[in-house]
């Protein structure tokens, strides 16, 4: 016994020290499976595929996927099965399907494709899905079960039921049950209709619609009831999606208008160049991505302080060069800043380009948060909404907890009284204009993740920003937040049936009528200056 035990330990040690020993065994079995598939006549191909599936080899899925895509071939001289990586031109790039090692190029005349017909190719979709149902990752298993919905045939029923008995993940189980229910509805099973009555998946609805048009009256009546319940759920999900898009659009309006609310409230300046300050923030984001190619996430994060500083600096220059000479004359500031906006637009066209620029969205902002089969929330809009709320909270802290905020509120309520109390109103004007301009730059950073960056970017938001400021109450941050979110949501609700242009006209008419009743907006200013 000691000799046998010693030999066993020695063999184990050889395998551990030299993994190639075990790999050779695995390679030999894999080569035999692929050779069997390549040499099998049409009547035995299915058996060859089943042998590959039963082998449990982790490479089996890749082999079958390549087989279904016509990327398995044999070298005529040796009979070796190879994986075709590139089948364009006279020479094809090939690799070893067992190791993945690139074998260089070979003339296509020296290769024979492993034949596959459409019937086998159609069956492979279900087989690959079954393989994925045994993956360790539950997300992969759920995605596989989702892909099977509407594709289940009689041959897949038994394997899926067996998988259902061993599956522990609830989400995967639900997907498998739905896939089987869709098949059973097609077979006339009334109980399967109940299982699909709450499903929002398009293929479930398609199966029920097909049942409604079928020859079975009992099945059609039950499917019609199930579809009615599903339609009600779809309406609720559609309303939730509309609300989400409205809030995200409103958050953009808040970011665009909140800086304008500060400068308009404190200085009484109608800044028509505010949109171009937003544009500068967006171009700063694009510029940071040019400085940091291949790192869009880092570039975006660095663009937040950079966009604020660029727009704030531009704001200070505008205030010192033009605005300070026009205080107390709002109509003249409107004309002057309109001219500045044209100058900034032309400057960008000359220095950078008149063409739109695309800002790359980082991977962690891409994609959607899937709530169910009928509702998914895009991540970039979710981040913009959260960013708008963070900026708003930061401004509220500045206004309520800092000396600058106290001085801004004092100047807003009564400039002359604030001067008499020793507050330097000129300094407050400069810092306020810089702060409002910097926030406009932050709005540009956020907008770069939702749309292309171009010289006319700010013009799309300047009118809406003034509407938000007037509707919410000049100089009131809470009013700006509520007005921005409200107008964004209202506009999104109106667009589906009124169209984008008519929806904006309706909103404008609503604001005009509202201002007739409440000239100072939702949250009017307080103080003697507001009363005068």
- The whole-chain average pLDDT of the chain stands at 83
Q: What's the whole-number mean pLDDT along residues 356-381?
A: 88
20-39 and 45-54 are packed helices; what angle lies between their axes, rounded to 10 degrees?
Answer: 160
Q: What is the pLDDT of residue 532?
A: 45
Where b means 16+ CB within 10 Å and e means fewer, 450-479 reads beebbbebbbebbebbbbbbbbbbbbbbeb
Residue 22: CB atoms within 10 Å: 12
Work out the pLDDT band at 526, boundaries 50, 70, 90: low
For the chain, domains (ranges, CATH) are 133-214 (no CATH), 237-355+375-531 (1.10.3470)
Strand pairing class (91-95; 102-107): antiparallel
Per-residue model confidence (pLDDT) at position 19: 44
pLDDT above 60 for 407: yes
Q: Binning pLDDT at 50, 70 and 90, where does residue 17 land?
A: very low
Number of H helices, E strands in the chain: 22, 7
Mean pLDDT of the 215-231 span: 88
Q: 21 in helix, strand or coil? A: helix
DSSP per-residue string spanning 362-382: PGGGSSEEEEETTEEEEHHHH
Nearest to 278 by CA among 302, 258, 250, 249: 258
pLDDT for 133 equals 77
State residue 429's pLDDT score.
83
Q: Which has the closest alpha carbon to 429: 314, 272, 273, 264? A: 264
In sequence order, which ranges of 197-216 are alpha helices (DSSP H)?
Answer: 202-212
Please say whether the beta carbons of 97 and 63 come within 8 A.
Answer: yes
Q: Which residues pair with 95 in a beta bridge?
A: 83, 102
Compute CA distances 255 → 219, 267, 365, 402, 435, whole Å. Answer: 53, 19, 19, 21, 13
d(CA 203, CA 148): 10
Average pLDDT over residues 435-462: 89
């Amino acid at each position: 016994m000691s000799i046998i035990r010693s030999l066993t330990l020695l063999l184990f040690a050889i395998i551990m020290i030299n993994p190639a020993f075990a790999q050779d065994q695995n390679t030999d079995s894999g080569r035999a499976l692929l050779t069997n598939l390549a040499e099998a006549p049409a009547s035995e191909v299915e058996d060859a595929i089943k042998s590959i599936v039963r082998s449990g080899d982790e490479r089996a899925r890749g082999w079958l996927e390549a087989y279904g895509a016509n990327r398995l071939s044999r070298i005529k001289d040796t009979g070796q099965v190879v994986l075709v990586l590139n089948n364009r031109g006279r020479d094809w790039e090939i690799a070893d399907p067992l190791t993945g090692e690139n074998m260089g190029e070979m003339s296509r005349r020296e290769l024979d494709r492993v034949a596959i017909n459409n019937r086998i190719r159609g069956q492979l979709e279900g087989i690959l899905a079954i393989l994925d149902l045994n993956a360790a990752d539950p997300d992969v298993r759920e995605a596989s079960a989702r892909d099977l919905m509407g594709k289940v045939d009689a041959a897949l029923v038994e394997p899926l039921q067996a998988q259902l008995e061993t599956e522990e993940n609830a989400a995967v189980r639900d997907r498998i049950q739905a896939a089987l229910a869709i098949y059973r509805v097609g077979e006339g099973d009334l109980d399967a209709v109940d299982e699909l009555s709450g499903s929002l998946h398009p293929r479930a609805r398609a199966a029920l619609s097909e049942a409604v048009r079928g020859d079975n009256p009992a099945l059609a009546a039950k499917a019609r009831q199930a579809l009615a319940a599903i339609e009600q759920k779809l309406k609720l999900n559609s309303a939730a999606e509309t609300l989400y898009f409205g809030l995200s659009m409103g958050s953009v309006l808040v970011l665009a208008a909140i800086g304008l609310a500060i400068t308009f409230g404190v200085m009484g300046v109608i800044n028509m160049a505010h949109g171009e300050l937003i544009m500068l923030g967006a171009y700063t984001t694009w510029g940071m991505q040019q400085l940091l190619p291949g790192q869009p996430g880092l570039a975006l994060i660095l663009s937040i302080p950079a966009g604020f500083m660029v727009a704030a600096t531009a704001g200070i220059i505008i205030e010192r060069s033009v605005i300070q000479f026009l205080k107390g004359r709002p109509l003249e500031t409107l004309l002057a800043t309109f001219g500045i906006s044209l100058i900034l637009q032309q400057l960008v066209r000359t220095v950078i380009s008149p063409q739109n620029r695309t800002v790359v969205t980082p991977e962690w902002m891409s994609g959607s948060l899937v709530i169910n089969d009928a509702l998914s929330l895009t991540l970039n809009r979710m981040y913009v909404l959260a960013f708008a709320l963070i900026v708003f909270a930061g401004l509220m802290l500045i206004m309520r907890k800092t000396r600058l905020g106290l001085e801004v509120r004092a100047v807003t309520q009564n400039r002359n009284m604030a001067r008499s109390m020793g507050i330097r109103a000129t300094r407050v004007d400069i810092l306020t204009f810089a702060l409002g301009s910097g926030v406009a730059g932050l709005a540009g950073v956020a907008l770069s993740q939702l749309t292309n960056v171009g010289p006319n970017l700010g013009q799309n938001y300047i009118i809406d920003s003034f509407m938000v400021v007037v509707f919410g109450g000049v100089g009131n941050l809470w009013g700006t937040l509520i007005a921005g979110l409200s107008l964004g949501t209202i506009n999104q609700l109106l667009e589906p049936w009124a169209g984008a242009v008519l929806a904006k006209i309706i909103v404008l008419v609503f604001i005009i009528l509202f201002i007739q009743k409440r000239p100072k907006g939702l949250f009017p200013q307080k103080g003697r200056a507001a009363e005068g």
